[in-house]
Amino acid sequence: MTAEQVIPTERELPGLDLKGADITDLVRQAEESDVADRALTVMQALKKYKKAVFWAMLLSTSLIMEGYDVVIITSFYGQTQFQTRFGDVDAETGDHYITAAWQSGLSNSALVGQMTGLVLNGFLQDRFGCRRTMMFFMGWMALMIFIVFFAPTLSVLALGEFMCGISWGVFQTLSTSYASEVVPTILRPYVTAYVCMCWGAGILLSSVVVRLCVDLEGDLGWRLPFALQWVWPLPLLAVGYFAPESPWNAVRRKKHDVALDSLIRLQQDTPDREAKASATLAYIQYTTELETAESGEATYLDCFRGTNLRRTEINCVVWAAQILCGNAILGYSVVFLQAAGFNEVQAFNLNISLSACYIAGGMICWLLFPHFGRATIYMTGLSFMFCCLVVIGGLGFTETRETQLAIGILLVISTLCNMITIGPVCYPVVAETPSGRLRYKTIVIGRFVYNLTGLFSNSVTPRMISATAWNWGARTALFYAGTNLLCNIWCWFRLPETKDRTFGEIDLLFDNRVPARKFRATAVDQFARHRGEEAPAAEKEAASHIDQV
């Protein structure tokens, strides 16, 4: 079967309440806006939408906090001060250590909190918008940091991680969806990949802070890194107050005046700015009403109905693959390196190099976006990481200084590969594949599955690595080589290519059940029906065939 072009079926647009010339004028404005944005180069789009890029990047900064604390707690498992304060004593050596059970418990407490925040955000962002939701949970975060800072026991620290995790769960989806909705199609992969870079910046910052605190004595060695989290909430609360609302979010909440005001603020200051904002608003209204006609009201159950089930599947697997690709080992890099034979200081020094890959990799990925598709980059990264994991696992069967050095080098290479490909590409994919009305909820479900995968990983990875548990050491990489391979096989058959596609086009491709391997080649005209044109017979036949897939 070949699919040359996809056109929308005839649909009413009940939410617009427009007739005759009004609907024709709306479609004309929407199409003009779509054509104008398609004609932009990256540099032209940056100039025209520099304010939108500015606000998208500022709100994405909230992910620095999540990346910072999620990794800092795992780094503490190998820190002497933290081990002395909270650890058990090894009867044979007299050294303190954090048991594998508590390592899992602390990490999983944050993940359970994040899943709670994800579910809350799925409702709150649709009800109150991006700005208000962000402002509330920034205040929440500032208060919850007190619990982890003053924690007298591991039980209280786990509670604090859970409470902080609620905010992180909200920021995980809010930042990605906001970034994807305020910029044109050509800039979408850059600002969404920047979300990943912010998460990596938090990891890098935590690695540097923990390394600098290695020589501090007493509780200050672990409390100071927690205290530094207070730097973020107040400035980011102010950012949320002054930021323009997502115009897509405002339209879905029937606040068209808010959407128009946001579009004016997000565009370049030119004499025709209001006219361009009105045209963009028409496009958002048109696409939103098509989605409403297709799926009706947005509920979590709708994510598992019809073609939305396929979109939810893609979101879930792409998120889960972030861990199953082998990234789970990188999250425990300090403990992993120590199990491979590095001493504490060496492990922390190399961990900084690993964390720096998140920033460098994201910048390199930006250079790839104009030339390669999302699926191509993603699957290439999985393949390369698979090779690295197999070699690291093989080296785990020997114990020499040369082997330790090779494992360290391969971890850096593998991390850099992850952050050039799999890490940043995940974000445009999960932002682009859901329908607009279900975007927040679909991303929430996908991220929820990501955290469930994290719960599994946090339960088994410490036990795989720890000498007091399964004692696999570097051989743990072989397990994740297997999960990596399974993810890559799924991607070949199920991951569609969304490069250079507008939200409206992606909706039509999914609505017509176009196979993943044909997404790139299929032509789409989302305005044909409501423009009043009759599609050629060949196009009708192609659309008819596609509906049967």
Q: In this structure, what token pair is assigned to residue 156?
A: 């209280």
Cβ atoms < 10 Å from Cβ of 114: 28
pLDDT at 18 over 60: no
Percent over 70 (pLDDT), the chain: 85
Overall average pLDDT of the 85-97 stretch: 80
Q: For strands 96-97 and 523-524, give the pairing.
A: unpaired
Q: Indicate the range of 53-57, 425-429, 455-459 predicted with least confidence.
A: 455-459
Q: pTM (2 decimals)? A: 0.76
Q: Indicate the range of 14-18, 78-82, 207-211, 225-229 predicted with least confidence.
A: 14-18
What pLDDT score does 515 carry? Answer: 92
Q: Are 181 and 246 in contact (CB under 8 A)?
A: yes
Q: Are 491 and 379 in contact (CB under 8 A)?
A: yes
What pLDDT score does 538 carry? Answer: 38
What pLDDT score does 334 carry? Answer: 62
Dist CA 505 CA 508 (whole Å): 5
Percent over 90 (pLDDT), the chain: 27
Burial of 17 from C-beta contacts in 10 A (0-12 / 13-18 / 19+): exposed
Q: In this structure, what token pair is assigned to residue 104?
A: 């899992």
Task: Quote the radius of gyration of the chain (alpha carbons, Å).
Answer: 24
- How confident is residue 310, by pLDDT bands cut at 50, 70 and 90? very high
Q: Are 297 and 263 in contact (CB under 8 A)?
A: no
pLDDT at 57 over 70: yes
Amino acid (1-letter code) at residue 348: F
Q: Which residue has the tokens 């004593």?
A: 89
Dist CA 265 CA 261 (whole Å): 6
Dist CA 198 CA 549 (whole Å): 40
Q: For strands 523-524 and 88-89, give the pairing.
A: unpaired
Dist CA 389 CA 444 (whole Å): 29
Cβ atoms < 10 Å from Cβ of 209: 16
Overall average pLDDT of the 191-215 stretch: 82
Q: In this structure, what token pair is assigned to residue 478?
A: 């072989």
228-233, long-range: CB < 8 A, 24+ apart: 228/68, 229/65, 229/68, 229/69, 229/141, 229/145, 230/142, 230/145, 232/61, 232/62, 232/64, 232/65, 232/141, 233/65, 233/138, 233/139, 233/141, 233/142, 233/145
In whole numbers, what is the pLDDT of the chain averaged over residues? 82
What pLDDT score does 530 carry? Answer: 58
Nearest to 131 by CA among 165, 182, 166: 182
Overall average pLDDT of the 272-297 stretch: 77
Overall average pLDDT of the 42-65 stretch: 88
Chain Cα centroid distance, residue 179: 11
Overall average pLDDT of the 329-341 stretch: 64
Q: Indicate the range of 6-15, 400-409, 434-443 predicted with least confidence.
A: 6-15
Q: Which residue has the tokens 């070699």?
A: 391
Instruction: Write the DSSP symbol of residue 195.
Output: H
Cβ atoms < 10 Å from Cβ of 101: 12
What pLDDT score does 311 carry? Answer: 95
pLDDT at 295 over 70: no
What pLDDT score does 386 carry? Answer: 95
Dihedral sign for Cα 456, 459, 465, 469, please.
negative
Read off the pLDDT of residues 340-391 as tens digits, 9 standing for 90 and up: 566 667 766 776 777 777 788 888 999 999 899 999 999 999 999 999 999 9
Segments making up each domain of the chain, as ranges: 5-16+504-547, 33-503
What pLDDT score does 488 carry? Answer: 96
Overall average pLDDT of the 492-511 stretch: 89
- How confident is residue 5, by pLDDT bands cut at 50, 70 and 90? low
Dist CA 395 CA 409 (whole Å): 12
- How confident is residue 293, by pLDDT bands cut at 50, 70 and 90? low
Instruction: Write the DSSP symbol of residue 321.
Output: H
What pLDDT score does 23 carry? Answer: 60
| C-alpha distance from residue 420 to each of 97, 190, 239, 473, 495 (Å) | 35, 12, 29, 26, 18
Cβ atoms < 10 Å from Cβ of 230: 13
Overall average pLDDT of the 73-84 stretch: 80
Q: Which residue has the higher pLDDT, 22 or 159?
A: 159
Read off the pLDDT of residues 102-153 as tens digits, 9 standing for 90 and up: 887 887 888 889 889 988 988 898 889 999 999 999 999 999 999 999 999 9
**HSE (CB half, 13 Å, CA atoms) of 287?**
29
Q: In this structure, what token pair is assigned to residue 407?
A: 């494992």
Q: Which residue has the tokens 């190399």?
A: 350
Read off the pLDDT of residues 391-433 as tens digits, 9 standing for 90 and up: 988 988 887 777 877 887 787 788 888 889 998 999 899 989 9
Q: In this structure, what token pair is assigned to residue 458?
A: 């946090």
434 sits in the region (left: phi over 0; alpha: psi -120 to 50; else beta) called beta
Q: Which residue has the higher pLDDT, 158 or 273?
A: 158
Amino acid (1-letter code) at residue 139: G
What pLDDT score does 11 carry? Answer: 47
pLDDT at 484 over 90: yes
Dihedral sign for Cα 416, 419, 421, 423, please.
positive
Return the CATH number of the domain spanning residue range 33-503: 1.20.1250.20
